[in-house]
Chain A
Amino acid sequence: MNAMLESLREHWRDQAAALPGDTARRERALEAFLAEGLPTTAEEDWKYTSLAHLEQARLTLPGPVTLARAMAAVERHGVPDLEGPRLVFVNGQLIPPACRLEGRVPGLTIESLAQVLGEHDADEALDRVVDLDRYRLARLNTALFQDGARVRATKGVITDAPIYLLFLTLGDAEAMQLVQPRVLIETAEGASVTVIEHHCGEGEAAVINAVTEIVAQPGSRVTHYRIQEHADTHAQVASLNARLDRDAALVCHNIDLGGAVVRNDVHVRLIAPGADVELNGLYFTRGTSHVDNHTRVDHLAPHTSSREDYRGVLAGRSRAVFNGKVLVAEDAQKIEAHQSNNNLLLSHECEIDTKPELEIYADDVKCSHGATVGQLDATALFYLRSRGLDEDTARGLLTFAFAEEVIARLGIAPLAERLSSTVIGHLPDSDRLRAFT
């Protein structure tokens, strides 16, 4: 057993009793995870993304952070000006003074998992959607997560204000922390919620292993944001697992602007006619960062639809991976699945591996996919220069515009503005580009 797995076993021994919820279930998950270990590049799904550097890392479950330190970090990283409820977690622990839950909407429940596990049905509500055999790191989350959020909307409840979940990781020089955000979103028939998961951090190396589950009952709607702005010392693995019933709709925005090694899995199951998912993604990789997005949409019923548009901007010596899988089950006739992945390479040393994967067992389907890897459009570049803009500004502007098309779809102005500003900050000549926004 390697050092990482050993350290996990020790933590289990010392801290299992303090973890909220059903200990037996946690233990089963831990044993299964320890038996399998971390995924390796020998596995097809992990071919391009190595977690080998973590095998010898002794991980620590984080202890409490002082309130002053937590509040100062929230101030630095949180998105200001967002209306609506919020839960804030720093190193996996809820920071009540930073949360805002007043002005509750009847039928909408937003809870800290640590507070509700062990009560009612909360334990059984977990692990219902995630395919644990495929997303093995989710088992580690189930075994050792410390806290997270549960969002529930009862029948017909429609909420406008986004629910903001901030997960902050403050890396520590003394020990590499394992921070495991956990989110569960459940919408009853006809309900509608918007949830922003904002994952960010600073400081020394840390490992973040997040799991989100979404269960959408017939006719309900979930708009979900996963905004990742980790420090360039942080490794992050996340899986988003959703099940959509008849006429349910899910829109997912996946934005990656940080992290050293990042792996995101999205798995959406469309289980009844009319279910619809839209996946909207942007990754901007720089330096030596590595961002891997694997998405999988299972069309398990006829008349289901999916649209996916992921874009990447790669700079420096960074690397990105995109793998978009669409599965169409045998009886799933009349489905529509469209996918595109476009990448801009800003340097000669960056690298992208992009692969669509279609597995279709029905015959009456409309599917399309396309991937591009390229440089900026020469005609657009000439157009801008012919208006007097110098070449660097024109290039920066077109790069920004490429990313901005994804950001423009976010629909929440304070969030979009914040991300636009971050993207500009990552481009050369950012001061000049700011004049354009």
Chain B
Amino acid sequence: MLKIKDLHARIDGKDILKGLSLEISAGEVHAIMGPNGAGKSTLAQVLAGREGYEIVSGSVEFCGRDLLALAPEERAREGVFLAFQYPVEIPGVNNVYLLKAALNAIRKHRGEDELDAYAFMKIIREKMQLMQMDASFLNRGVNEGFSGGEKKRNEILQMAVLEPKLALLDETDSGLDIDAMKVVADGVNSLRSPERAIIMVTHYQRLLDHIVPDVVHVLADGRIVKSGDRSLALELEAHGYEWLQQAVGT
């Protein structure tokens, strides 16, 4: 589904991604771990189409298309979803209206009819229940005054409503207590499907107890330096990133 080849990206003249390659197929869940500042969020943002990054070289193919040629909204409509590490507060833009506009934009792109209010609310109520979110969240401004955990839940709610092909979760676990983490993990697990790929960026392996990945990658200094199965995450947890840097000789 997604093929990243030798991607080099920089911002403000600083090289961040330095030859990153990664492939993920439909139905798979990959975890990307790595030290702070390694470039994990940069990768997620570049894939979602954030402006300001200069793509120096390399390519990204998504479902056979050149992903980097698309505007952020086109990527979203093609099925890419980024759950932000720091979800943005947008007072004055109503949460439920954003969900509706987003869903309808994507449906329209797929050639489906826009949903009427009743059908839309039915979906929303179901997904809110899944995320254990109170209905009062709907009529607040997007993320306005939400706690850290509520913001993360809201990101997964959006993902559950939009049903992307490729979900990029950037540190969705950080700042969550154990109960909230379970809710988020249940939400993500409910979206696992043979048609969908999920990339989870995380700092800690504890999320992987709840969402078991097929592949674990270690991203350091702008590159994938090691890939393996789940046991890689456990090793990292036990020995830290320094162990890894010695192990791969960087």
Determine if A383 and B87 form an interchain contact, defined as CB atoms under 8 angstroms apart: yes
- B30 interface residue per 8 A CB criterion: no
Instruction: Known contacts A378-B51, A436-B97, A436-B101; decide if A385 and B92 are in contact (CB<8 Å).
Output: no
Determine if A386 and B48 form an interchain contact, defined as CB atoms under 8 angstroms apart: yes
Q: Which residues of chain A come closer than 8 Å to B50, judged between CB atoms?
A: 382, 386
1/0 per residue, CB under 8 A from B, across A383-411: the answer is 11111111101100110111111001000
Cβ-defined partner of A387 (8 Å) among B51, B91, B92, B158: B158
- A1 interface residue per 8 A CB criterion: no
Determine if B92 and A379 form an interchain contact, defined as CB atoms under 8 angstroms apart: no
A400 to B82 alpha-carbon distance, docked (Å): 25
Chain A interface: which of B10-18, B70-78, B127-135, B215-223? B70-78
Across chains A and B, which 5 residue pairs bring their CB atoms closest together, nearest first?
A: A401-B92, A388-B105, A404-B92, A388-B76, A387-B102
A175 to B75 alpha-carbon distance, docked (Å): 59
- A435 interface residue per 8 A CB criterion: yes
A315 to B151 alpha-carbon distance, docked (Å): 33
A406, closest chain B residue (CB): B92
1/0 per residue, CB under 8 A from B, across A25-42: the answer is 000000000000000000
Size class of the A contact interface (CB-based, 8 Å):
20 to 34
A408 to B139 alpha-carbon distance, docked (Å): 13
A94 to B81 alpha-carbon distance, docked (Å): 59
Instruction: Known contacts A405-B92, A436-B94; decide if A385 and B71 are in contact (CB<8 Å).
Output: yes
Q: Which residues of chain A come closer than 8 Å to B224, judged between CB atoms?
A: none
Main secondary structure on A side of the interface with B: helix
Q: Which residues of chain A come closer than 8 Å to B106, judged between CB atoms?
A: 388
Cβ-defined partner of A386 (8 Å) among B49, B91, B109: B49
B72, closest chain A residue (CB): A385
CB distance from A1 to the nearest CB of B (A): 50
CB distance from A416 to the nearest CB of B (A): 12
Q: Which residues of chain B come closer than 8 Å to A408, judged between CB atoms?
A: 92
Q: Which residues of chain A come closer than 8 Å to B77, judged between CB atoms?
A: 388
A383 to B76 alpha-carbon distance, docked (Å): 11
CB distance from B19 to the nearest CB of A (A): 25
Cβ-defined partner of A435 (8 Å) among B75, B90, B97: B97
A401 to B72 alpha-carbon distance, docked (Å): 21
Query: What would be 26 A-B contacts, judged by CB atoms less than 8 Å apart?
Result: A382-B48, A382-B49, A382-B51, A382-B72, A383-B88, A384-B98, A385-B72, A386-B50, A386-B73, A386-B75, A387-B162, A388-B73, A388-B101, A388-B105, A388-B162, A389-B102, A393-B101, A398-B93, A400-B93, A401-B91, A402-B92, A408-B92, A435-B100, A436-B94, A436-B98, A437-B94
- B241 interface residue per 8 A CB criterion: no
A209 to B105 alpha-carbon distance, docked (Å): 48
A383, closest chain B residue (CB): B88
- A67 interface residue per 8 A CB criterion: no
Q: Which residues of chain B come closer than 8 Å to A387, judged between CB atoms?
A: 76, 98, 101-102, 105, 158, 162
- B137 interface residue per 8 A CB criterion: no
1/0 per residue, CB under 8 A from A, across B115-137: the answer is 00000000000000000000000
A383 to B88 alpha-carbon distance, docked (Å): 7
A377 to B89 alpha-carbon distance, docked (Å): 11
- B146 interface residue per 8 A CB criterion: no
CB distance from A156 to the nearest CB of B (A): 36
B114, closest chain A residue (CB): A435
Determine if A389 and B101 form an interchain contact, defined as CB atoms under 8 angstroms apart: yes
Q: Which residues of chain A come closer than 8 Å to B71, judged between CB atoms?
A: 385, 391
Instruction: Known contacts A391-B73, A435-B97; decide if A386 and B90 are in contact (CB<8 Å).
Output: no
Determine if A385 and B76 form an interchain contact, defined as CB atoms under 8 angstroms apart: yes
If A386-B81, A389-B73, A405-B92 are given as contacts, then 11 extra A-B residue pairs at C-beta distance below 8 Å, sorted by A number, are: A378-B51, A379-B88, A382-B49, A383-B84, A385-B73, A386-B49, A387-B76, A388-B109, A391-B71, A398-B90, A437-B94
- A413 interface residue per 8 A CB criterion: no
Q: Which residues of chain A come closer than 8 Å to B141, judged between CB atoms?
A: 401
- A380 interface residue per 8 A CB criterion: yes
CB distance from B149 to the nearest CB of A (A): 18
Name B residues whose Cβ lies closer than 8 Å to a Cβ of A: 48-52, 71-73, 75-77, 81-82, 84, 87-88, 90-94, 97-98, 100-102, 105-106, 109, 141-142, 158, 162
A387, closest chain B residue (CB): B102
Determine if B73 and A390 form an interchain contact, defined as CB atoms under 8 angstroms apart: yes
Cβ-defined partner of B105 (8 Å) among A378, A390, A436: A390
A420, closest chain B residue (CB): B92
CB distance from B105 to the nearest CB of A (A): 4
A402 to B90 alpha-carbon distance, docked (Å): 9
A5 to B141 alpha-carbon distance, docked (Å): 52
CB distance from A393 to the nearest CB of B (A): 7
Q: Which residues of chain A come closer than 8 Å to B97, judged between CB atoms?
A: 435-437
B97, closest chain A residue (CB): A436
Chain B CB count within 10 A is highest, among A380, A393, A436, for A436
Determine if A380 and B90 form an interchain contact, defined as CB atoms under 8 angstroms apart: yes
Determine if B91 and A405 form an interchain contact, defined as CB atoms under 8 angstroms apart: yes
Chain B CB count within 10 A is highest, among A377, A390, A405, A408, for A390
Q: Which residues of chain A come closer than 8 Å to B94, judged between CB atoms?
A: 436-437
A397 to B106 alpha-carbon distance, docked (Å): 18
Cβ-defined partner of A388 (8 Å) among B84, B90, B92, B102: B102
A390 to B52 alpha-carbon distance, docked (Å): 18
CB distance from A324 to the nearest CB of B (A): 22
Q: Which residues of chain B come closer than 8 Å to A391, judged between CB atoms?
A: 71, 73
Instruction: Known contacts A391-B73, A435-B97; decide if A386 and B82 are in contact (CB<8 Å).
Output: yes
Q: Which residues of chain A come closer than 8 Å to B90, judged between CB atoms?
A: 380, 383-384, 398, 401
Q: Which residues of chain B come closer than 8 Å to A385, judged between CB atoms?
A: 49, 71-73, 76
CB distance from B151 to the nearest CB of A (A): 11
Q: Which residues of chain B come closer than 8 Å to A435, judged between CB atoms?
A: 97, 100-101
A377 to B76 alpha-carbon distance, docked (Å): 20
Chain A CB count within 10 A is highest, among B51, B73, B91, B100, for B73
Q: Which residues of chain B come closer than 8 Å to A436, judged between CB atoms?
A: 93-94, 97-98, 101
B161, closest chain A residue (CB): A387
